[in-house]
Chains A and B, each alone.
Chain A
Amino acid sequence: MKLRADLEPIVDWIKPGSRILDLGCGDGMLLAHLRDAHGVRGYGMDIDPQNVASCIAAGVNVIQGDIDEGLHDFETASFDHVLMTQALQALQRPDEAIAEILRVGRTGIVTFPNFGHWRVRMALLRGRMPVTPALPSRWFDTPNIHLCTVSDFEALCAQRRWKILDRRLLNHAHRSGPANRIAPNLFSELAMYLLQAPATAGAAD
């Protein structure tokens, strides 16, 4: 099965044979791909019963649970990577979730739609809440309650001293063009970060 385009860059960050936890894993396709193509072992976590049933159908380990309730059931540094794709903006406390991700995982991979993208800004200049390809919901039915920009996110990382080991800032075609490098906060639709907690920073191999 072809992997969703926005998930491809993540695969580069994941060591073959590593142990991972995928938060908000959806139907488990990323985990299934990582298992089949890269020998990765691990678990998904999702709150949605349909997604849980789909993961089980795909033979993917899945644990039904709510990221907002924390990751108490997972030991510190018990995973090589903890992933959370496109779920950050829907959480009650994104900052606490990232702190938990970086406690449980030796590295954390976090992706989110960039609220600093020019389409978003254009919509706001027109006085309307943005509805864009990366943010297709309308203001009244969106699950997104904590949207942020690339600059906001990096400011939070700096404040919490989370180490950004790598980042991928992608345009609408999920590629990194020259514009993404010149003005990332303006031209990136999707932001992907490889993070590490301050205490373990430097211990990465």
Chain B
Amino acid sequence: MSDAAEGSVGIVAAQRVVIDTPLLLDCGRSLSRHELMIETYGTLNAERSNAVLICHALSGDHHAAGFHEAADRKPGWWDNCIGPGKPIDTNRFFVVALNNLGGCRGSTGPSTVDPQSGKPYGPDFPLLTVRDWVRSQAMLADRLGIARWAAVVGGSLGGMQVMQWAIDLPERIANAIVIAAAPQLSAQNIAFNEIARQAILSDPEFHGGHFYDHGVVPSRGLMLARMIGHITYLSDAAMRAKFGNELKVAVPSFNFDIEFEVESYLRYQGQAFVDRFDANTYLLMTKALDYFDPARDFGDRLELAFARTRARFLVVAFSSDWRFSPARSREIVKALVDAGRDVSYAVVDSQLGHDDFLMPIPQYHAVLRNYLLRVSDEVGATIGVPA
């Protein structure tokens, strides 16, 4: 339990998994084959009962923990939570993280080459839904020989995938850990996504999504999209604490150069994103968010959607998160209670906003740790001996 026992998964290597089974998508199209980049941490036990799937959010990928090289400046995106002795304990669990279909970190997506045309798919890549991702992840589970996940875990858009798993494949998920999510997007959420999309679509260098052919990137649009996103990931209080309304210079220069700290931050975040993310993937991910609404097929009654589930649920929200506020998580909890499902709900006192789901907040990690210790006992995950 002590922090001293916590460690890193160390140096990890990504693997490419080729899935040859045709995947029929919600949009009506199908992919005859697709590839997924994954990383795994820990050891699958003999009963194959200790596997945990990590679903990533809008801009995440398969590199969730550890380092690719010793010289890496930063570990995977959820390294504070995944590792030996950490809440998602790799001494107990076999952890699988992937880059979703449609991503831009090596899995099949708009920026990969379409074998038929020999050119990147670009805008011809089908738009996806959360349900499509669950289908693709289930094919990955088949490939890994995992009949049933001990837990599927995800924050934000990742939490939506967790809910969809529990609804669509109830026999294949024992525990659903839904963090900082919502049962569907609000009009305000969709509005922010739409502004982000318009920023990309209206960039002259977008070229209708065929920018690869022109050797350019719609960097201004993608940067703007990310800047908008970042505003929604932070609370007003956190921004105030971080940036105030400090001028970076002694006197105003009365022009549109960077003058305030927050401008500097947003431009930096936006620019850094352009260097690592694909504009078509960003469009696709925001649409998947907008389309998510598991109640839609059940007469807008979420409790009927959840009535199909068999998993135990843990729902976690953050007090300062206004993008997917605690009230949205309570909608999930209410529907689960109405459906008579097992659910626990914790609201973590937090400062940062939506981004808090990536932070090692003690209360948050205690809840995850306690919950997953129970899961570990249930599925007979024995503590492995670190190599």
Q: Which residues of A contact B346 (CB under 8 A)?
A: 49, 52-53, 56, 62, 64
Min CB–CB distance B93 → chain A (angstroms) = 17
Of the listed stretches B204-212, B287-295, B332-340, chain A binds B332-340
A49-B349, A49-B363 known; A56-B334 Cβ under 8 A: no
**CB-nearest residue of chain B relative to A55?**
B344
Is the C-beta of B73 less than 8 angstroms from some C-beta in chain A? no
Q: Which residues of B contact A147 (CB under 8 A)?
A: none
**0/1 interface trace, chain B 353-374, chain A, CB 8 Å (1 if under):** 0000000000100110011011
Interface residues in A13-68 by Cβ distance below 8 A to B read 19, 41, 43, 49, 52-57, 59-65
Q: Is the beta-carbon distance between B330 and A62 smaller than 8 angstroms? A: no
The residue from B333, B347, B373 contacting A57, defined by CB atoms under 8 A apart: B373
Min CB–CB distance B307 → chain A (angstroms) = 14
Is the C-beta of B260 less than 8 angstroms from some C-beta in chain A? no
Q: Which residues of A contact B333 (CB under 8 A)?
A: 63, 73
Min CB–CB distance A162 → chain B (angstroms) = 24
Q: Which residues of B contact A62 (CB under 8 A)?
A: 344-346
A52-B367, A53-B363, A74-B337 known; A61-B374 Cβ under 8 A: no
A19-B334 Cα distance, complex, nearest whole Å: 15
Categorize the interface residue count of chain A.
Answer: 20 to 34
Interface of A is mostly: mixed
Q: Which residues of B contact A43 (CB under 8 A)?
A: 337, 343
Min CB–CB distance A71 → chain B (angstroms) = 11
Is the C-beta of B275 less than 8 angstroms from some C-beta in chain A? no
A56-B314, A75-B338, A78-B338 known; A63-B373 Cβ under 8 A: no
Q: Which residues of B contact A64 (CB under 8 A)?
A: 345-347
A59-B376 Cα distance, complex, nearest whole Å: 12
Is the C-beta of B342 less than 8 angstroms from some C-beta in chain A? yes
Name which of A52, A65, A78 has the most chain B CB atoms within 10 A of its CB: A52
Q: Is the beta-carbon distance between A63 and B367 smaller than 8 angstroms? A: no
A56-B342 Cα distance, complex, nearest whole Å: 12
**CB-nearest residue of chain B relative to A56?**
B370
Q: Is the beta-carbon distance between B344 and A61 smaller than 8 angstroms? A: yes
Q: Is the beta-carbon distance between B363 and A63 smaller than 8 angstroms? A: no
Min CB–CB distance B336 → chain A (angstroms) = 9
Name which of B343, B344, B366, B371 has the most chain A CB atoms within 10 A of its CB: B344
Name which of A53, A54, A55, A65 has the most chain B CB atoms within 10 A of its CB: A53
Min CB–CB distance B170 → chain A (angstroms) = 18
Q: Is the beta-carbon distance between B371 and A61 smaller than 8 angstroms? A: no
A49-B349, A52-B367, A53-B363 known; A59-B338 Cβ under 8 A: no
Q: Which residues of B contact A53 (CB under 8 A)?
A: 346, 363, 366-367, 370
Q: Which residues of B contact A59 (CB under 8 A)?
A: 374
Q: Is the beta-carbon distance between B345 and A63 smaller than 8 angstroms? A: yes
Q: Which residues of B contact A57 (CB under 8 A)?
A: 370, 373-374
Interface residues in A59-99 by Cβ distance below 8 A to B read 59-65, 73-75, 78
Q: Which residues of B contact A60 (CB under 8 A)?
A: 344
A43-B334 Cα distance, complex, nearest whole Å: 12
Min CB–CB distance B1 → chain A (angstroms) = 11
Sampled A-B contacts (25; CB under 8 Å)? A19-B340, A41-B340, A43-B337, A43-B343, A49-B349, A52-B344, A52-B346, A53-B366, A55-B344, A56-B344, A57-B373, A59-B374, A60-B344, A61-B342, A62-B345, A63-B333, A63-B337, A63-B343, A64-B346, A73-B330, A73-B333, A73-B337, A74-B334, A74-B337, A78-B337
Sample of 11 more A-B contacts, CB < 8 Å, known A43-B337, A62-B345, A73-B333? A43-B343, A53-B366, A53-B367, A56-B344, A56-B371, A57-B373, A61-B342, A73-B330, A73-B334, A74-B334, A74-B337
